[in-house]
A and B are shown apart, each in its own frame.
Chain A
Amino acid sequence: MSQDLFATFKTILVDTFGVPADDIAPEATFEALGLDSLDVVELTLVLEEETGVKLEDEELEDVRTVQDAIDKITEKQQAAA
């Protein structure tokens, strides 16, 4: 599942945000990928579309990297299952 989520992230970051594919790694921070606070809000909207999981504002507080977001989404998916 986590591998799939990483692939989803990669597609979104490349297609929607124009991040070069080579820059995208699980440990990359959104800041380092050139995303600002409004970009992260937009990212959560696209992620919700792709995964069905919505990350709320308070859940984003400690989400800094791609892996942080993957962990949070996985956690919510498992809780819902």
Chain B
Amino acid sequence: MNAPRNVVVTGMGLVTPAGRGVVDAWNGVLAGKAAATVDEELAAAGTPVTIACRVPAFDPDAEIGRGAKRRLDRFTHLGVMAAADAVADAGLGDPDADEPERIVATDPDLVGILLGSGIGGAETWADEYPRFIDKGPGRASPMFVPKMLSNTAAGTVAIRTGARGPNMTVNTACAAGASAIHLARDLIRSGSADVVLAGGVEAGITALSISAFAQMGALSRNPDPAAASRPFDVDRDGFVMGEGAGVLVLESEEHARRRGARLLATIAGAGASADAFHATAPPDDGGGAVLAIQRALDDAGIDPTSIGHLNAHGTSTPLNDAAEARAMRAVFGDHTDAIAVTSTKGVTGHLLGAAGAVEAAFAIQALREGLIPPTANLTTQDPEIALDVVAGEPRRVELEAVLSTSMGFGGQNSALVITRA
């Protein structure tokens, strides 16, 4: 049997509240300043929480096209933008062509698309249902179905890039972006694709979803947007909802080298697990997360002491952050103290189904630059959290291997081990 193919990252596209594009988004998280604002739409609707992290304003007419903009939900807009950026970054398209995101550098039949989304077309549901009640069944829009389906982002990226390889959408809630990278890695290893655009997309900030997340006690009630998302801080009281998209170009190393692509990092290991415990809460001991992290380390076949950095799930909810810290201690023992931890959600908020992909990109940036972003708003670390969490300023650390963790409602966990290419 042939050895499994090594899978590398050759491009990244980010559309996040901290900035558009890898450089802006990375500088945004390094600056450690929360991107949250009081959202006018939520405030006008009188929702119990009005703070959210939106992506910076963009012109969908110019970026996506007028017709496509109307036919697509916002989560697909963001996914299309991130995918186009990733294609450009990986040198898969022709920047001078009329359709620069069309894949020309390799056989598009062997390019897959694997995106994660927790919610799908939330805005479409929110807009269309009142219209349906008001105008009746005869006026249900035929656009409703393709707009709201959560696989539309992956399907639309295929239409625009011409990628005709395996095309799938994975939903493991807030782990979806990481799950997509995990499964994309496996598709390449197995030979089902040479290249996969893998990531996560989410645009779930609607009055309905914010109200419901607030009712379940998941969202911060802090009235100050700048201070609301504070992972691992003793005063954390919930997450701030964000939106965005992250797409990584995963590629077999052999294929990447053959076409002369720039290698950013290696997806060395991936692990998944379920808590089998509760609809939304993690077990106190972080049991499911422990399994996912151990599996990712085993899969990577590296010495756990080579992990120097964790981009934590770190949502800023009291339960998640504490369980994650216990899980890390359970896996790494004394080595936990040598792992520099950050949660970039202090800056970006929680991008739900996009979080795992965006944070994998930040983990890759940290690995490449030897620089760990501070956790925004960490002023007094919760004494229950026995982790070395970076706060205040970015920290310079030489890194060989990094870990990114994601945990979804439903008890679905994912961990990625990323090493130098």
The reply on A36 being an interface residue by CB < 8 A is yes
Question: For window 48-67 of chain A, which residues contact chain B by CB distance below 8 Å?
Answer: 48-49
Across the interface, B142 reaches (CB within 8 A) one of A19, A41, A48, namely A41
Question: For window 9-39 of chain A, which residues contact chain B by CB distance below 8 Å?
Answer: 17-19, 34-36, 38-39
- B143→A42 contact, CB < 8 A: yes
Interface residue SS majority, chain B: helix
Contacts of A49 in B (CB 8 A): 135, 139
- B71→A38 contact, CB < 8 A: yes
Across the interface, B139 reaches (CB within 8 A) one of A34, A39, A45, namely A45
The reply on B66 being an interface residue by CB < 8 A is yes
Chain B: minimal CB distance from A28 (Å): 14
- A38→B142 contact, CB < 8 A: yes
Across the interface, B70 reaches (CB within 8 A) one of A17, A41, A45, A48, namely A17
Across the interface, A42 reaches (CB within 8 A) one of B67, B135, B141, namely B141
- B142→A42 contact, CB < 8 A: yes
The reply on B138 being an interface residue by CB < 8 A is yes
Chain B: minimal CB distance from A31 (Å): 11
Q: Which residue of A lies closest to B141 (CB)?
A: A42
Q: Known A-B contacts: A34-B66, A36-B67. Give 11 more (CB < 8 A).
A: A17-B70, A18-B67, A18-B69, A19-B66, A35-B67, A36-B71, A38-B146, A42-B142, A45-B139, A48-B138, A49-B135
Q: Which residues of A line the B interface, CB within 8 A?
A: 17-19, 34-36, 38-39, 41-42, 45, 48-49
Please name 19 pairs of A and B residues whose Cβ atoms are closer than 8 Å in the assembled complex, sorted by A. Answer: A17-B70, A18-B66, A18-B67, A19-B66, A34-B66, A36-B67, A38-B142, A38-B143, A39-B67, A39-B71, A39-B143, A42-B141, A42-B143, A45-B139, A45-B141, A45-B142, A48-B138, A49-B135, A49-B139
